[in-house]
Each structure stands twice: as C-alpha cells, then as structure tokens.
Amino acid sequence: MQIRLSSGMMHETIEVSEKHIAGILCPNTSSAFAPLDDNMIRNAINHPVNSLNIENRTTSSSKVAIVVDDATRPTPTSRILSIILKKLSGIGIPDQNISITIATGLHRNTTAHERTLILGDDVISRFDIADNDARNPIAFAHAGTITGGKEIYLNKRILEADIVITIGVVKSHAFAGFTGGAKSILPGVASQNTIHGNHCFYNIEYPRGVLGSCEMSATRKEMEATARLVNPFIVNVVLGDSNQIIYAVSGDVVDAHRSAVDFYKKIALRTFPEKVDIAVVHGGLAGSINFYQALFGCNVVKTTERPILKKNGIVILFAECKEGSGSKLLEQIMPTFSEPDEILKYLASNKVFDDQWAVQFLATFLRDIHIFLVSEGVSSEIAKNLKVKLFPNAKEALDAAIQTSDLDYRMAFIENPDVLIVNLA
C-alpha cells in the first residue's frame, strides 16, 4: 500500500507491505467538538472547579498578577484575557493594580511583535507587562519549601499579588505529562535555579519523565507543590485542529487542570495492539521547525506509560527541520562523548544547565533505540554530531530499517505526534 508522509514543505509517498503494518495512528479529529463562543468561556470562568470564583477572591483594592503563555504556545491569550480583564474591571479593580507576566521560564524574552500577537496593543498600552527574567536573581524572592527540601524562588510580581490568575493551554508534554496547570508557575515564573531543580536529571529520567501521565511525572508533582504556594486561579483551554477553543475550564490548579487533561485525552489518547520494530513518525508543527522539537516524535513511541516501540527498535523521523538542529547545545555536547551512556553519566553527576533535558532525552534514545532521520534542514555534519543516521528520503531509510529487522517485523505509522499519546493496549 502507499502511504504519504508530510512535514512542513517536505512530502514523500512510499510503498509498504501491508502485512507488516501493525497500525496507522493519527489524532482523533476535533471537528466533532464545536468551538466555544465568548459566553461559553465566560461561563467556564464563572463556574470554577473546586475553587472560589474570582469575585469571591478579590475586592476592588486587590492586587492581581496575571500569568500568560509566551510565543512557544498557541494559546489564544488575548481572547481569554479580555474576558478576565472585563471581570476585574467590573469588580472595580483599577488597571494599575493589575500586572501581566509572560511565563517565559528559561525561554528568551518576547519580542515587541510577539507581545502584540499575544496580548494586543490595547492591553500593552494599559498594563504593567514583563517577561519572566529567570536569570536575574533580584527579580525573585523565596516562596517556600516543597517536599524533598527544595527551596522555591518565584517572581516577585507574583508573590506581591493578592491573587494570581494563570491562562494556559493543555496538550501533551515530553516529561511533565501535559502542559497547562501548574506549569504556568514552574517553570513559567520561577527563577533559573528553581527551574533547574525541577528539570534535573533524576526527574527527567524515564519513567519519572513521562509523556501523557500527570501521576507518573516527577516534574509535574513538584510543579503542583510549587503552585500550591501561591494558590493560583487557573483558566485552561484545549484547542482544536484550527486552534479554536473547544474546551475551557477554570479553578483549582490541579483539579481544573485534570478536567482539561481528561478532555484532551479524547482527542490525543490512542492505544496500539502490539509492540513494533519500526515506527515512522511524520507531520505536526514541531518536526517541521527543528530537530530539537522533532525529538518529541521519539517520546511519543518511547516515553509514554506503555510505549509501543521495542528495545533497540527504529524510529524513522520524517521531519523537515527547516531551522536545523534548533539547539547549539545539542551540537556542542553530543560529539564530546563517544557513547550515550557517557553522556548520561556526565549529566547525572554534574550541575544542571539550561535545556539539559533535550540532551538527556537524545542520549537515552540513542542508548535504547535507533534514530533514522529524513530531513532537508539537517546537514550531514550536524547529523553526525548528533549521532543520528541521516537519509536523503524515506524509502532509503525504510529499506535500511527493514534490512536490520527480523523477517516478521512490525511497523507503526504515527501522524502528527504533537497531539498524540500512544500507549500499548
């Protein structure tokens, strides 16, 4: 049978033997869920899950800290924010009592253009807005201590408020289970050292670093313990195929988040009947951008609760990676060591650094499976440095994978891993 693979502007149709295909997975269409209008979103905010509503948590003199996603998330922030700001105005809270912090975590600061896209010109002109400058220690203060004795430092803008309101989107995440909820606080508005403590080797190591499970994720547990220190009122949404809001919930940082997670699973969670020798992963926004993002395709088949790829199996990443590796860190560290285990030992015994998790995941994948990359954006030199096998097209990658597999090999085709959680049945 013929299967068409796509990633960004890169496309290829390959011929495969149907008897070896264990399954073809793509997200359940979200078209069955009608987009929410503003009244529906307002209703979700007015009826929070396991929390007092905003009116009962504020007065006209309250100081309000609103936390919003940065440009790495597709959150329709301005639309949700406008509803919240009207509510705060109706309570009598003046603009000068409201701050908006962009939850950049360790990401770069937002550009002026990105701020306009996220917030809109009217909001920018009216309110006190700032990024979370994680590497500036004077911007943070001690918020408390969580289980395990970890000291938590959060942005002073958050700690000085009477109420913290967060706006986020829920989708699957490589090691926190899902985005949204407490992630707006940690890493969103936390200090560099606090984020490093959460994104440490131990927490990221599978199965503590897991895709699609809040309960198994060590980072998620610490994020939620941290968020409890400021007791945020969250507004989280789930988006459809065209980034339209198809679900909205508000309230408690854990319980409301789980409500959104349960809804998201209706679209993303798929079960597979058997383990496979070869997984071909294509489609989705992440892989079209860079290799750093495309690695998520390996997580989908290898670091879920019940992964479908066998030990020493092969992932064929069909990923345009138009921006190349997307991580100078990966390019610098990976060639320094000859074996994945050496990299992992180094990471486990040294101080955490920014984006360490990507190096850790790649080294773990290279230890446990084989990565065959089909990409127009990654050069042969970069692929060599990253220790992945680069192929000019999917046919050659598939032929090579078949040659190294048993005669009765089984294959899975995974389309759009950005919004999939794949578990063994």
Which of the listed residues 206, 240, 266 is the one where a domain comes to its end?
A: 266
303-328 pLDDT, tens digit each? 999 999 999 999 999 999 999 998 88
120-133 pLDDT, tens digit each? 999 999 999 999 99
45-59 pLDDT, tens digit each? 999 999 999 999 999
pLDDT of residue 285: 78
pLDDT of residue 32: 80
Beta bridge partners of 99: 65, 128
83-118 pLDDT, tens digit each? 999 999 999 999 999 999 999 999 889 999 999 999
The CA-to-CA distance between both ends of the chain, in Å, stands at 25
Q: Is the model's pTM score more than 0.85?
A: yes
8 Å CB contact between 289 and 323: yes
* pLDDT, averaged across the chain: 95
pLDDT of residue 30: 66
Shared-domain flag, residues 372 and 228: no
DSSP letter for 378, please. Answer: S
Shared-domain flag, residues 291 and 233: no
Number of domains making up the chain: 2
Shared-domain flag, residues 124 and 219: yes
Tokens of 307: 């992964």
pLDDT at 287 over 90: no
Which of the listed residues 266, 289, 315 is the one where a domain comes to its end?
A: 266
pLDDT of residue 201: 96
318-367 pLDDT, tens digit each? 999 999 998 889 999 999 999 999 999 999 999 999 889 999 999 999 99
Greater model confidence, 1 or 32: 1
Q: What is the CATH number of the domain that holds 388?
A: 3.90.226.30
Shared-domain flag, residues 145 and 84: yes
pLDDT at 372 over 70: yes
pLDDT of residue 73: 85
Cα–Cα dist 250/396, whole Å? 49
Shared-domain flag, residues 278 and 395: yes
Q: Give the pLDDT mean for 221-229.
A: 98
Shared-domain flag, residues 232 and 151: yes
Exposed / middle / buried, residue 13 (Cβ in 10 Å: 0-12, 13-18, 19+) = exposed
Range of the domain at 277: 2-28+273-424
